Chain A
Amino acid sequence: MIPAAFEYVRADSVDAALSALTEFGDEAKLLAGGHSLIPLMKLRLAAPSVLVDVGRLDDLRYISDAGDYISIGALTRHRDLETSSLLASAAPLLAHAAGHVGDPQVRHRGTIGGSLAHADPASDLPAVALAMGATIVATGPNGTREIAASEFYTGFLESALAPDELLTEIRIPKLDTQGWSFQKFNRRAQDWAIVGVATVRANGSTGVGLVNMGSTPLLASAVMDAVKSGATAADAAALANEGTEAQSDINASSEYREHLARVLVRRSLEESGLS
């Protein structure tokens, strides 16, 4: 399987990437680690006419403490997240979930910015970003803007990023974490989750993100509201499929996904310390 032909532009700076996006418009796709995009291009499910390779922008590969939040450069690889001592203490859910993306080879190349921007509802990190209340920083020709993770996902493989914008940073609020959990149900170790759940309990509230329960990554809002009102883990988890639109595919029917969501949300709430 070989991708359809395209023109390749390697950007050596954020400005160069933005100029290329302005020049080529929506004909262009950004290439970071390539571990979401290249498989789609090989299957010819994506056939951009221009690839703007931002994979060498090492300036965007960092994890740093910015006071109220942890600041993560978009080109930071999953392996960097998985092994970061800063994340292990300040955002253990993210470090742990990053260690469950794909397999080691994928984690050596794939990036957090690419994973979030690709907006695949079956990916692990978007649900984590939702649960943790992350902020996504986009840089365009007119400067940067911040987008709440909860407003970032607009449709299947679609995000709030404009065609001339580059996702440059992810900000994870520093939470006083009381408990967290990442549940991923799949058939083979390296597969996408059939259903996944990311939970973090911190600062008096509970965030629950769902993987693969609709056309976008989702927050389990009904579960979060129930926990806030004092529901038990079991009672809150019974609401896990509210507001979801799980698809049926070769791995699972939508009914089975709804069942899994309820079971995994309960496990996830319990593992994060809610009784």
Chain B
Amino acid sequence: MKITVTVNGVERSGDVEPRTLLVHFLRDELDLTGTNIGCDTSSCGACTIHVEGQSVKSCTMLAAQADGLELTTIEGLANGGILHPMQRCFQENHGLQCGYCTPGMVMAAVSLLDENPNPSETDVRIGLEGNLCRCTGYHNIVKSVLACAAESNGASK
């Protein structure tokens, strides 16, 4: 079946089997390999993208379900050569070790701050419950997200 999605602001079409998972469509058909596949069981969150602005695990959605919708992947966050503030805060706070969970962590964190711009540390830890870091680098991930929240709150004051 033919589907059309808007990914990172660009309309993209493809011919998929109904059983094609969204993450496979993004990676294998659209060459957007920034989105990783981790557990494949809706647990780890490595495949997190935004669907209509909200974090979603793209291994648990059919490409067919995304037909006509707006998607953002990790490739769509930076503005040209300028990193998204969340990406920069992960970089500055060493919010990654091996980096495998990072695209999903960043996408989940951006969605978290959209919903709660001024989270406590507990809010961040609970808000990232859908993302696993097998390096257990959570401390600096939480620090990165809090830094990004503080920065954007400072900017808006």
Contact B65 A6 (CB under 8 A): no
B136 to chain A, nearest CB (A): 13
> Can you list 9 contacts pairing A with B, beta carbon distance less than 8 Å?
A6-B18, A31-B62, A38-B60, A39-B41, A42-B41, A104-B55, A104-B129, A189-B129, A190-B43
Q: Report whether A105 and B57 are in contact in the complex, using a CB–CB cutoff of 8 Å.
A: yes
The interface bits of chain A over 2-15 (1 if a CB of B lies within 8 angstroms of the residue's CB, else 0) are 11111110100000
Task: Answer yes or no: B19 CB below 8 A from chain A CBs.
Answer: yes
Per the bound structure, the CA–CA distance linking A3 and B111 in Å amounts to: 28
User: Distance in Å from the Cβ of A53 to the closest Cβ of chain B?
Assistant: 7
Query: What residues of B have a CB within 8 angstroms of the CB of A228 in the complex?
Result: none
A140 to chain B, nearest CB (A): 25
Neighbour of A109 across the interface among B60, B126, B127, CB < 8 A = B60
Residues of B within 8 Å of A55, CB to CB, are 65
Size of chain A's interface in residues, with CB distance under 8 A? Answer: 29
Q: Mark out the residues of chain B between 10 and 65 whose CB falls within 8 Å of any chain A CB in the assembled complex.
A: 17-21, 24, 40-43, 45, 48, 51, 54-57, 60-62, 64-65
**Residues from chain A with Cβ under 8 Å of B17 in the complex:** 5
CB distance from A28 to the nearest CB of B (A): 13
The docked-state distance in angstroms from the alpha carbon of A108 to that of B41 is: 17
Q: How far is the CA of A103 from the CA of B55 in the complex (A)?
A: 10
Please tell me if the beta carbons of A105 and B41 are within 8 angstroms of each other in the complex. Answer: no
Q: Are B62 and A38 in contact (CB under 8 A)?
A: yes
Q: Are B54 and A35 in contact (CB-based, < 8 A)? A: no
A108 to B55, CA, bound (A): 7
Q: Kindly list chain B residues whose C-beta atoms are within 8 Å of the C-beta of A190.
A: 43, 129-130
**B1 contacts chain A at the CB level, 8 A cutoff:** yes
> Known contacts A39-B42, A104-B129, A104-B130; is A34 also within 8 Å of B65 by CB?
yes
- Among B54, B62, B126, B130, which residue has its beta carbon within 8 angstroms of that of A79? B54
C-alpha gap A53/B68 in the complex (Å): 14
Residues of A with C-beta under 8 A to B71 = none
Q: B112 interface residue, CB < 8 Å from A?
A: yes
A105 CA to B19 CA, complexed, in Å: 20
Q: Which of B45, B55, B65, B115 contacts A53 (CB 8 A)?
A: B65
State whether the Cβ of B108 lies closer than 8 Å to any Cβ in chain A.
Answer: yes
Known pairs A8-B62, A34-B65, A38-B62; A105 contacts B43 (CB<8 A): no
* Nearest CB of chain B from residue A60's CB, rounded to whole Å: 16
Instruction: Write out the residue numbers on chain A whose beta carbons fall within 8 Å of the beta carbon of B51.
Output: 108-109
Does A250 lie at the interface of the complex (its beta carbon under 8 Å from any beta carbon of B)?
Answer: no
Min distance, Cβ B112 to any Cβ of chain A, angstroms: 7
Q: Are B60 and A34 in contact (CB under 8 A)?
A: yes
Interface centre among A31, A105, A106 (most CB of B within 10 A): A105
